[in-house]
């Protein structure tokens, strides 16, 4: 394989979609968004055939153009996904690459007064847009959503909220079990804020004024600020942190808002929706840097608890960390397509 390029058996269409729902979003982010739609080999040759669809969303700080990034000795997911269909490992499907970037690096795929209406954008604008322009099988039974990290979170919650739209999901190291994946970072953030007099906005001003990620604490602070903007912004858009930035003590009322978005804790509330799903892929690296392997275990146990049948679940902890696990995506893609094609 040549490292610097590859031809697709299918076709990737790069669109820009004008979102009404994102217009005037609080961060001033664009409402015209890139939207990439992949059609599998054979799509043009069979003009009457309809296809299942898989929506792919990204982890925190991911934006859609990063799907083209090339790494040595590996292929981008766009190509490995194409390979799944080219080699006939799964029934053909349409794959949609959705962008939900914000100025803070992500949206968690929720509607928030702190960032914008990214959940509604995805469900009420992107899905109909795709269904209108591509020959999809338009029912939830034939529509899946998949992602890693924050994208795995989005893949867990979106079908809970909209089982009418999504009938299957894949979460790779998705954010959940928040006391394990977030609380430790609140400590790191508190330490880092000592240099900013405990004021995260002073850090934010500093961060924007220089090359990003040249200070060690940038990642933890960006994550904390960005996720707070998604989960605990007030109606006027003001962001509230779930901890005292001088002591790391949790602020219970704000922390509760975060916990209300913890997939593990959401499962009982959305049990009916979850029981309606046809396929749920859950995986994570056994040494995930954010303990999301524990979250995967907990999410899987919570599903069992509410009666989601084992047959629809594929669960695996693999050797690995949170990094460089994009080689897992074609595995879940093939598995999902096998289940949502019929």
Ranges of H-type helices in the chain: 77-86, 118-120, 127-133, 150-161, 178-181, 183-193, 200-209, 218-231, 252-259, 263-266, 271-275, 292-305, 329-340
Give me the least distance between CB of 105 and a copy of itself, in Å please.
6
- d(CA 204, CA 195) in angstroms, rounded, equals 12
Torsion of CA 322, 30, 166, 283, to 10 degrees: 0
If one counts every other C-beta atom within 10 angstroms of the C-beta of residue 81, the result is: 28
Question: Given the complex with a copy of itself, which of 201 and 213 has the nearer CB atom?
Answer: 213
Question: Given the complex with a copy of itself, which of 16 and 342 has the nearer CB atom?
Answer: 16
Rounded to 5 degrees, φ, ψ at 117 are -100, 70
- d(CA 52, CA 134) in angstroms, rounded, equals 10
Give me the least distance between CB of 126 and a copy of itself, in Å please.
16
Give me the least distance between CB of 81 and a copy of itself, in Å please.
15
Give me the least distance between CB of 203 and a copy of itself, in Å please.
14
**How many helices and strands (H and E) does the chain possess?**
13, 10
Question: Given the complex with a copy of itself, which of 14 and 46 has the nearer CB atom?
Answer: 14
Question: Given the complex with a copy of itself, which of 50 and 70 has the nearer CB atom?
Answer: 70
- d(CA 80, CA 175) in angstroms, rounded, equals 24
Give me the least distance between CB of 169 and a copy of itself, in Å please.
19
Q: Are 160 and 270 in contact (CB under 8 A)?
A: yes
The residue among 271, 77, 279, 298 whose CA lies nearest residue 175 is 298
Question: Given the complex with a copy of itself, which of 22 and 140 has the nearer CB atom?
Answer: 22
Give me the least distance between CB of 317 and a copy of itself, in Å please.
8
Give me the least distance between CB of 52 and a copy of itself, in Å please.
26
Question: Given the complex with a copy of itself, which of 48 and 319 has the nearer CB atom?
Answer: 319
Question: Given the complex with a copy of itself, which of 18 and 234 has the nearer CB atom?
Answer: 18
Vertex 176, ends 144 and 95: CA angle to 5°? 20
Question: Given the complex with a copy of itself, which of 298 and 340 has the nearer CB atom?
Answer: 298
290's tokens: 């954010």
3-class state of residue 111 by DSSP: strand
Give me the least distance between CB of 272 and a copy of itself, in Å please.
22
Q: Are 144 and 166 in contact (CB under 8 A)?
A: yes
Binding site for a copy of itself (CB under 8 A): 2-5, 30, 34, 61-66, 68-74, 99, 101, 105, 177, 179-180, 183-184, 186-187, 190-191, 194, 211-214, 244, 246-250, 264, 286-287, 291, 293-294, 297-298, 301, 319-320, 324, 327
């Amino acid at each position: 394989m040549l490292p610097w390029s590859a031809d697709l058996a299918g076709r990737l269409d790069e669109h820009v979609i004008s979102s009404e729902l994102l217009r005037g979003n609080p961060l001033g982010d664009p409402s015209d968004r890139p939207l990439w739609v992949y059609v599998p080999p054979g799509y043009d040759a069979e003009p009457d055939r309809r296809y299942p669809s898989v929506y792919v969303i990204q982890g925190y700080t991911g934006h859609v153009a990063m799907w083209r990034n090339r790494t040595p000795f590996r292929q981008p997911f766009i190509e490995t996904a194409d390979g799944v269909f080219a080699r006939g490992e799964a029934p053909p499907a349409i794959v949609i690459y959705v962008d939900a970037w914000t100025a803070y690096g992500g949206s968690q795929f929720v509607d928030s007064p702190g960032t914008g209406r990214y959940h509604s954008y995805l469900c009420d604008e992107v899905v109909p847009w795709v269904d209108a322009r591509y020959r999809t099988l338009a029912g939830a039974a034939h529509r899946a959503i998949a992602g890693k990290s924050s994208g795995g979170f989005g893949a867990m919650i979106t079908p809970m909220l909209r089982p009418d739209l999504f009938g299957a999901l894949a979460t790779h190291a998705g954010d959940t079990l928040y006391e394990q994946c977030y609380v430790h970072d609140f400590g790191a953030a508190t330490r880092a804020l000592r240099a900013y007099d405990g004021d995260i906005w002073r850090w934010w001003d500093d961060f924007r004024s220089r090359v990003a990620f040249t200070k060690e604490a940038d990642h933890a602070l960006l994550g904390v600020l960005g996720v707070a903007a998604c989960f605990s912004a007030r109606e006027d858009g003001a962001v509230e942190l779930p901890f005292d930035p001088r002591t790391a003590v949790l602020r219970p009322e704000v922390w509760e808002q975060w916990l209300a978005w913890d997939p593990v804790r959401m499962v009982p509330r959305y049990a009916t929706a979850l029981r309606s799903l046809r396929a749920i892929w859950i995986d994570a690296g056994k040494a995930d840097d954010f303990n999301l392997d524990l979250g995967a275990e907990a999410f899987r146990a919570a599903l069992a608890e509410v009666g989601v049948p084992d047959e629809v679940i594929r669960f695996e902890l693999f050797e690995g960390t949170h990094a460089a696990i994009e080689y897992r995506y074609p595995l879940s893609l093939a598995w999902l397509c096998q289940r949502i094609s019929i």
